[in-house]
């Protein structure tokens, strides 16, 4: 029987700490029961299954995806990151199920939405609008977006945060980490405390819409003189810690360009790759969330629309220069200089075994292959991404080398990987070397 198609629907967000904890407990118990039944069946057949094989089944992945999409908040956000970062390492059916978390989330029912807006704008707020669409135009892990027209004629996008998200961040991250420990996905030897602390800090920043509004304005100023990009304008009078108001900009999802002419796809990716290098080397501030939904395209103006600046991070002058040295060394194919730059950045330490240092350097050199080619690099017809995935999995499976690099580099790697994935999805052909050399 074919699986029922996933459709977002109005579901109240469980906002209390105990109600969210109960969701995690119910999910764990449900999965444990499934594992016990499956394990008994395997034993009856004379097999000795591994716990991870019993846990990572399509049925269990479906239960996790359904529960996280209902809970939303940090729990869903962590699930999204896992599905994006580890998707290629999971069996295809599991990756597809967890991929639901990157699609539209369920959204708040009207009553819950009204309560949130009453708390932030005061009762009678509807009098400020000619029209306010109760059905969101987008729903994600931390909030949902509504289109509205004010009485003074402003066409706006209003992002409303789900209730209880900020209060539940720390416990959600801890509970997801506990599930991962239980599954064996995280080795016992690895100290993930720094990573969890950073995840909590980042999510607390993303849940502060006044802070995101300041990032939105900053990027608008940085790109004001460049007509190739457009950033929504912040609306201070309607923005609070839980509500972000900005101008609505017409556009289409960037993934929809898969059927656009080749030159359109090439130009969009040239702009996004150039922006990535500008963020690192010129602005020293980067929007690090690689979700495709953060980019849209206006076919009439040819502009790339930039959205969602919650996951914005600043980089020091030293980090920017360290990465510039690393890129230069890679372009020169100087392995000694590459090693020194990688060491300075912190991808490995002086006492890291030689074989692990070699593996990391080999993997970096693999990532530089597109920059050694003259002319356009064809993202559709190459195996660099597959070879890097295989190399990364091989390094990850070596329990002698579990090293967490500085957090800034992890967020930067995620952004680089997301842009590469989008270029592959669009089958773009881009002269990456020419773009890169402008910043060297």
Active site residues: 289
Q: Which residue has the tokens 């600046």?
A: 309
Around Cβ 268, how many Cβ atoms within 10 Å? 24
Q: Are 388 and 366 in contact (CB under 8 A)?
A: yes
Cα angle 27, 33, 37 (rounded to 5 degrees) comes to 145
Strands 429-430 and 377-378: antiparallel
CB within 8 Å of 308: residues ≥ 6 apart: 212, 287, 289, 291, 293, 294
Dist. CA 440–CA 435, nearest whole Å: 10
Per the CB < 8 A criterion, the answer to whether 67 and 25 are in contact is no
User: Are residues 416 and 276 in contact, defined by beta-carbon separation less than 8 angstroms?
Assistant: yes
Q: Are 378 and 429 in contact (CB under 8 A)?
A: yes
Burial of residue 275, with CB atoms counted within 10 A of its CB: 0-12 exposed, 13-18 middle, 19 or more buried: buried
- Report CA-CA distances (Å) from 223 to 229, 230, 276, 283: 7, 8, 13, 10
Question: Which CA distances in Å does 44 have to 37, 38, 301?
Answer: 11, 10, 64
Q: 350 phi and psi, to 5 degrees?
A: -60, -35
Residue 127 CB neighbour total at 10 angstroms: 7
> CB of 277 within 8 A of CB of 184?
no
**CA distances from residue 34 to 30, 71, 112, 270 in whole angstroms, order as listed:** 6, 21, 34, 47
């Amino acid at each position: 029987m074919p699986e029922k198609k996933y459709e977002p629907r109005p579901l109240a967000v469980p906002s209390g700490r105990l109600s969210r904890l109960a969701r995690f407990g119910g999910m764990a118990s449900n999965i444990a029961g499934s594992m016990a039944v499956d394990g008994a069946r395997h034993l009856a057949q004379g097999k000795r299954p591994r716990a991870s094989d019993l846990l990572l089944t399509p049925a269990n992945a479906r239960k996790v995806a359904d529960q996280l999409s209902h809970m939303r908040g940090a729990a869903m956000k962590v699930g999204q990151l896992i599905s994006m970062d580890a998707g290629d390492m999971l069996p295809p059916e599991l990756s597809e199920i967890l991929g639901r978390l990157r699609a539209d989330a369920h959204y708040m029912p009207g009553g819950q939405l009204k309560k949130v807006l009453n708390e932030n704008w005061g009762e009678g707020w509807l009098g400020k609008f000619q029209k306010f669409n109760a059905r969101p135009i987008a729903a994600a892990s931390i909030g949902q977006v509504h289109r509205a027209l004010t009485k003074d004629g402003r066409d706006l996008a209003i992002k409303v945060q789900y209730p209880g998200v900020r209060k539940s961040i720390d416990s959600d991250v801890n509970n997801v980490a506990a599930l991962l420990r239980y599954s064996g996905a995280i080795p016992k030897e690895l100290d993930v405390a720094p990573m969890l602390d950073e995840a909590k800090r980042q999510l607390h920043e993303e849940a502060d819409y006044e802070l995101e509004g300041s990032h939105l304005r900053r990027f608008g100023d940085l790109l004001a003189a460049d007509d190739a990009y457009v950033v929504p304008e912040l609306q201070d009078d309607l923005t609070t810690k839980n509500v972000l108001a900005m101008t609505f900009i017409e556009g289409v999802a960037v993934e929809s360009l898969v059927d656009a002419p080749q030159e359109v796809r090439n130009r969009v990716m040239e702009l996004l790759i150039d922006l990535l290098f500008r963020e690192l080397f010129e602005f020293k501030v980067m929007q690090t969330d690689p979700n495709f939904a953060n980019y849209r395209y206006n076919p009439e103006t040819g502009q790339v629309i930039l959205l969602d600046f919650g996951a914005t991070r600043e980089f020091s002058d030293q980090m920017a220069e360290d990465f510039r040295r690393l890129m230069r060394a890679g372009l020169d194919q100087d392995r000694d200089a590459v090693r020194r730059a990688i060491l300075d950045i912190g991808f490995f330490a002086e006492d890291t075994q030689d074989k692990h240092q070699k593996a990391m350097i080999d993997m970096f050199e693999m990532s530089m292959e597109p920059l050694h080619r003259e002319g356009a690099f064809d993202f559709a017809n190459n195996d660099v991404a597959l070879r890097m995935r295989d190399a990364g999995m091989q390094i990850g499976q070596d329990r002698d080398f579990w090293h967490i690099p500085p957090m800034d580099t992890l967020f930067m790697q995620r952004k680089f990987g997301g842009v590469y994935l989008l270029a592959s999805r669009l089958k773009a052909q881009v002269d990456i070397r020419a773009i890169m050399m402008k910043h060297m």
